Structure 1
């Protein structure tokens, strides 16, 4: 029954929507989409803010607990200071001597010396006084002396800790008292010699450790179990006894006397104390509260603006579409004489205006496209004819070279024959229509043909030294890579010299590539000429393939990691490095 009812309502809505005008459909759909997006966004935002709140609480707890770390570090420093005092050789000797009967003069000297030593440590940071009680109960003070009743309480306490430095809260709340039994170190007898008592300015220590803008509002409470060690002066007036500290989490939010507080706590492994940091919630999180309010206002304003804009857009979209539909119907009937658009339609710069202009341009170009297609066919035929004509010229050149080679052999001109054969191989490789990437072996054969020609020309002045590992001859390399580089070495090296020029071609194996080095010991290339060669401003001789061309071809085929590097120094020669991938047929494209 319910399914049928829902189905009937859906059918009625669908039919009603189908009969609406386009502008009304656009408005309904647009508002529905905006409503769904806003609703989902608000839900997602609330979830994200909830997660963010948790992260912020964690970070706030960590920041607040940084002051705890600072307090702990300062207490550890004072604990080390106490160890320095109890292990002081002079103090140890004085306390040992005081256990025996001494003259009044000697007692006065020891009293003076001990007091002098203790006063040296009174000026340490956060230290109010340093007091020493010998085995006879006599007190030696660096700073104000300690009340005898407190001394009688601290001496057995320190003795019970067996030399461990322990902290005790001062009844007045102004100080934190640290006490430690002094034991004899000589021969590790550990004989009790006295008690060291250090009064610590706890309020100053806490103030130094809780610096920062927000920390001014922090309320600190330190507990040893249930015993209070220290609390900020504002703690009773703000919280009273209504504050309940969380036990299962590192932080909590509580409301006391109409105010919200953020509380974090941590336990010290050094002292065993628990540090509670309490901060008014609005002090840190007021920006979050403001941000949430602003976001909700923005969503509401956006929704209202969207409704208004949807109505205007729907009206502006439907009018030109209806006009364009009428023009399309005329074109459908074969009427390509378009009526001119109104000034308002022609001035539109949005998609509708583009659609109108594109429609007009499309109609005007129909005839032009037909003619253009016909012209392209003629151009293709002409290109095919030129390609056939270009194939005739190489064949004529090869036949001519064969005739010269035959005539040289008949006349016993072996050098001419070798030169012509090498020239034929070189031209055939350079202008053939085969693939642009060949094997390294084929490239080296092409280079050998070129060297053969140059050897005949320069004779012993050309010292060509190939050092190629045969195992790399199957690697792929762009055609005419090495020959232009050797040609440059001859032009800028050998031709500029009167003596012998050594040109070496060798391979170096790297982890991810093979490096081919073409090095000459010629006079080197001037930096200006070298830069022009790289950019193609100066064209090389022979086949006219520039360094930049070679580098671009290698990078295009194999990727940016490979290519060409040129190093040239005057009077020291030139070295060209070609890097190609080691994997056979490997490319990055």
Structure 2
């Protein structure tokens, strides 16, 4: 939003009726409070809900893996049983050489093998079938010939290679479609092992236990989880569920190698956010992956958000109603005051506001009544007051004395003294005239050093009339500094101090030395009078530093502090005066400030 639009909006809001402003303020206060408290509650509850869900899902994934491992251990034990049955081993030894015959094995072989396998599968409905494959391709199974082939002629299947590579260790086979089932769409995951002769260690065949997916479905159903659960083997091949139920690609599973065991993370799948929990079994390498939609994780949080929004809307409606009801008496008082002001604006100064309360509005009305009374009184007196002011101005103008009259009078006295031969009087009158002109002239606050020294010389001339030759005045001036500027009447108080407090008794000399030091001017005003004690010197320094004024019959702290303060006001805190003195050793003041010339004044 640009500045013009912001200014227009601000002007529009400020122009709204006072009652509307109150209602908006009430609503904004409730809305702001609800937003702050609601946000804190929402985020805390969301964080707590997510943490609880994550902890529960981690425990659940671990529990699923433990149940699967417990069952796989049972299947692994079953796969070892042929090694301990000599009749099974003897039958497998008969079928060592490959054969293309499809004839049934003799009943003397088939029946014992069927009884043996049936005993292993008894009361285990989750087992699809147990098959013992001889080296010649003959299959001994608990299933009949309507489901399973009598022989397997193809020995290059991946699952067979994987079993043979395990070299007698148990193998977990992921979902696959074995070639010995007549229904080629049959998918199973299996526990298998290569059978070797315990005495010769020669391979005799393979035992393969095919498991139904109902086994894992039963384990998952017991968890009552709303998550998508996937089971893969150590090679990231799916064990559960079938392909048509998968929502994640095998390529994504390769990235799981970098995910910490029992950790959780957030992943997007098909534009939808999921919380993923990952657990890997150290026994079987089985990985349980649980994907929970964020909408499920935050279902309670979303419900809380909706409830809070309803509460906020109800609160705003209530605040509008309360603002409308409670603001009525307040606005009525303001309207009465506004109507009274409109009448006063039209010239009716007899208008008054009825006071019904002692709050701020009542105080405002009381002040309005008092103000109108005063205006009424002033309006009735303004004419007489104006006449009295004009008369006073005329009398003031008549009583003013033109400074030129003083200068002309002094000049007349000067001429009379010269005519009478009183040259001392003439000199004194001329010096007094110069002093008056210098002090009365208010055209400039800063003067040149030359003008200030001429004023000091006139002042010394007048003082010499009183003290005679006892007063000596000595100057030592750097001529290049004559046009340097300084505050007007800066040196006179110091010279006066020297005469009044240092030389008034026995007389003496006053020295003024002006020199340059870099870009600074230094003016030293010194006398050889009676001086002051060290204690008094320390007191004056302290007063000058604190810029406090005091009066004394010895070197006035007022004059010194004033000069110090004026220099700092003109030039800055780093400039000012320094004083030095001793008893019967005179008194000196050193002024330091930057050099400024005409045209450089601040």
What range describes the TM-score normalised by the shorter chain of this pair?
0.3 to 0.5
Tell which structure's C-alpha radius of gyration is larger: 2
TM-score by length of 1: 0.43
Higher relative contact order (CA 8 A, sep 6+): 2
